[in-house]
């Protein structure tokens, strides 16, 4: 795993981070990525709110990159935006097909949908039904993507994407787990004349070498997330080196983390954005920490920092034992960053 890149400015004192930290636990509307509650630390930084929310199973070395991103966003000015609004996609969890219209209704105006597939315990038939329901609900002119989170083998991915291709897929995100598998799958689909592009997500943000995807020709585009890559500046550096089209996405963040992603998308050079970004996922949470949650309007989010809602921070405040768990995690990740400084 690549090590965290440090903020250019000195690390703020650990005591300052403790004082600035608010730990929240927000239910999800639908079970998503195996969780039904999203925990996060919201820092009240000198330049605005920042989020630290690596998933609980992530090790400290990986999580320290997320802390570096929070410190960059809350304690340093982000790159200047080149655009004021970002198109976003709807995100459809691995729900039964009959629930698809209700999910899409939470993303008003979105003309792109990303559909979760390859869910553990489900079959290809479930994926087909879900994608069909999305296409029928959104119409022929909408963009439909699928995201397997690395859940397919090459053979299973080839079969699934050949079957799903007639629905007019924009691309398939991380259909297989490894860069080598992505490269093999991409080659196989090309030879078979299956018109589905391959996007790499985990092979960028969780890789020892996030540029291996680009060098090996394993993907047509990359999906980047600001938090896992250590912040906006490190993400922009990877994008500049990769020279592949980009979609900016989130990790089921609150509006605070979404605003970081929006600032990353807004700073991309002209021509780099490959379409609507995966930054509408606040709609999948049953609450938020902002007075003005980052919910798309006509499929668009404005590039801004949200204003924190003190009542919501208290309402979704984590239990004391979870607060301690997160504060101890911050200490360990901070120590990892300090050791590299």
* pLDDT single digits (tens) 114-157: 999 999 999 999 999 999 999 999 999 999 999 999 999 999 99
CATH number, domain of 204, equals 3.20.20.120
Q: Are residues 47 and 170 in the same domain?
A: no
Q: Are residues 19 and 144 in the same domain?
A: no
CATH number, domain of 327, equals 3.30.390.10
Domain assignment of residue 154, yes or no: yes
Q: How far apart are CA 281 and CA 108, in angstroms?
A: 12
The pLDDT score that the predictor gives to residue 169 is: 98
The pLDDT score that the predictor gives to residue 134 is: 98
Q: Are residues 126 and 109 in the same domain?
A: yes
Is 61 annotated as a binding-site member? Answer: no
Domain assignment of residue 2, yes or no: no
Domain assignment of residue 8, yes or no: no
Residue positions annotated with a catalytic role:
116, 225
Q: Are residues 257 and 292 in the same domain?
A: yes
Is 155 annotated as a binding-site member? Answer: no
- Give the closest residue to 163 by CA, choosing from 140, 130, 203: 130
Q: Are residues 317 and 297 in the same domain?
A: no
Domain assignment of residue 6, yes or no: no
Q: Are residues 128 and 217 in the same domain?
A: yes
Domain assignment of residue 9, yes or no: no
Is 201 annotated as a binding-site member? Answer: yes
Q: Residue with structure tokens 């080196």?
A: 241
- Is the pTM higher than 0.85? The answer reads yes
Percent of the chain residues topping a pLDDT of 90:
92
The pLDDT score that the predictor gives to residue 97 is: 98
212-242 per-position pLDDT tens digit: 999 999 999 999 999 999 999 999 999 999 9
Residues 6+ apart with CB under 8 A from 123: none
Percent of the chain residues topping a pLDDT of 70:
97
Alpha carbon 257 to its chain's center: 9
Q: Are residues 21 and 112 in the same domain?
A: no
Q: Are residues 108 and 176 in the same domain?
A: yes
- The domain tally of the chain equals 2
Tell me the residue range of the domain where 164 lies: 85-302
Domain assignment of residue 28, yes or no: yes
Q: How far apart are CA 305 and CA 295, in angstroms?
A: 13
């Amino acid at each position: 795993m690549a090590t965290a890149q440090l903020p250019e400015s000195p690390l703020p004192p650990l005591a300052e981070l403790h004082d600035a930290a608010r730990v929240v636990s927000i239910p999800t509307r639908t079970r998503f990525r195996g969780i039904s509650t999203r925990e996060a630390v919201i820092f009240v930084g000198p330049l605005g709110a920042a989020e630290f929310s690596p998933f609980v199973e992530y090790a400290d070395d990986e999580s320290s990159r997320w802390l570096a991103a929070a410190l960059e966003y809350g304690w340093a000015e982000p790159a200047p935006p080149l655009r004021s609004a970002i198109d976003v996609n709807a995100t459809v969890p691995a729900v039964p097909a009959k629930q698809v219209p209700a999910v899409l209704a939470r993303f008003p105006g979105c003309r792109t949908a990303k559909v979760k597939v390859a869910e553990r315990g489900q079959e290809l038939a479930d994926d087909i039904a879900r994608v069909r329901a999305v296409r029928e609900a959104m119409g022929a002119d909408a963009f439909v993507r699928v995201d397997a989170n690395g859940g397919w083998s090459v053979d299973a991915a080839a079969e699934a994407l050949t079957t799903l291709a007639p629905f007019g897929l924009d691309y398939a995100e991380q259909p297989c787990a490894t860069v080598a598998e992505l490269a093999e799958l991409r080659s196989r689909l090309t030879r078979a004349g299956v018109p589905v592009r391959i996007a790499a997500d985990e092979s960028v943000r969780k890789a020892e070498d996030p540029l291996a995807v680009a060098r090996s020709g394993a993907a047509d585009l990359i999906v980047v997330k600001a938090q896992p890559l250590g912040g906006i500046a490190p993400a922009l550096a990877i994008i500049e080196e990769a020279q592949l089209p980009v979609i900016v996405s989130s990790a089921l963040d609150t509006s605070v983390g979404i605003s970081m992603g929006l600032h990353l998308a807004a700073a991309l050079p002209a021509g780099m954005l490959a379409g609507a970004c995966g930054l509408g996922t606040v709609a999948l949470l049953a609450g938020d920490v902002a007075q003005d949650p980052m919910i798309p309007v006509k499929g668009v989010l404005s590039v801004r920092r949200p204003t924190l809602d003190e009542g919501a921070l208290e309402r979704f405040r984590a239990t004391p034992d979870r607060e301690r768990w997160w504060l101890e995690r911050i200490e360990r990740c901070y120590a990892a960053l300090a050791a590299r400084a």
